[in-house]
Amino acid sequence: MQKGFIFDLDGTIYVDNKLIDGAADVLKELKERGDKVVFLTNKSIETIATYVEKLTNLGIEVERENVVNSNFLTARYLAKKLSREEKVMVIGEQPLYEELIHHGITISEDESEVSYVVLGWDRTFTYDKLNRAFQAWRNGAIIIATNPDRTCPVEDGEIPDCGAMIGAIEGATGEKVELIMGKPSPLAAKFIVEDVLKLSPEDCYMVGDRLETDIRMGNDFGLHSVLVLTGITEKGMLEHAEYQPKYVLNSVREITELVKDPDSKALDSQMK
């Protein structure tokens, strides 16, 4: 029976510009089996075209329609919600601006006229940007974020991600940002499974390195959640973790073993 595989990118398929050993071979084998593969990343500082180029350069064959990022999910959501007259303020980098504009969304820096403030990962985040977002919120704008990730894995550790921007605005407003488009949003899961893979949740695997995003989304939407230990999460963290994966792999290279013998990779069999 055909299966669907949703792969996170950073920490799962590669770290920085280094491909995880065996990743390309596994992805090729899945496609040869006739399974469907989609790459889903929360990272908002790159365009989908950039991801396609990067994966291709790393030796992975991929089509544009099989790569989804949080910018696309955010723009898609807003394009359905906004009227033609409504505008948004953006705290983020150029790829986020480009995706919103591509979806026909009007961007404004005037905090008195925007309906939404869009928060993305912003490596030039300043007090001035925080204040403008806060003033827009005071004027009634809704806060929407591309993704909740606190950090992003890099080859020598981690760096702050969009979660830092969310934390800043929550500290100012005193309200939790509830509208988040990337993983673990059920809106993201529904779109990927039903519109992209066109399969039932029980026939799909969510493969990633983060418990609070990848694994939580998989569990919440009825997917087979698969944790890989090549990114943020270490195995020892599972003992007290709120979100538990169904399967634990050392890396994506073990995916084919999982498909052949699911019981051997199940979390309960590894924790005994």
172 with 248, same domain: the answer is no
170 lies in the same domain as 237: no
Statement to judge: residues 114 and 170 lie in one domain: yes
CATH assignment at residue 172 = 3.40.50.1000
Q: Which pLDDT value is given to residue 272?
A: 44
Domain boundary among 180, 214, 249: 180
* pLDDT at residue 154 in the model: 80
Domain boundary among 155, 180, 205: 180
Residues 198 and 170 in one domain: no
Does residue 65 form part of some domain?
no
- 191 and 248 co-located in one domain: yes
- Residue 25 maps to a domain: yes
Domain count within the chain: 2
Cα–Cα dist 110/135, whole Å? 10
Which whole number is the average pLDDT over 77-98? 97
Of the listed ranges 44-53, 56-65, 203-212, 259-268, the one predicted with least confidence:
259-268
User: Percentage of the chain with pLDDT > 90?
Assistant: 88
pLDDT, one tens digit per residue, over 132-142 is 999 999 999 99
Would the pLDDT of 264 be above 80?
no
Domain of 90 in residue numbering reads as 72-180
Could you write out the DSSP letters of every residue in 229-272? TTSS--GGGGGG-SS--SEEESSGGGHHHHHH-HHHHBHHHH--
pLDDT tens-digit series, residues 198-248: 999 999 999 999 999 999 999 999 999 999 999 999 999 999 999 999 999
Residue type (1 letter), 92: G
Q: Is the pLDDT of residue 97 over 90?
A: yes
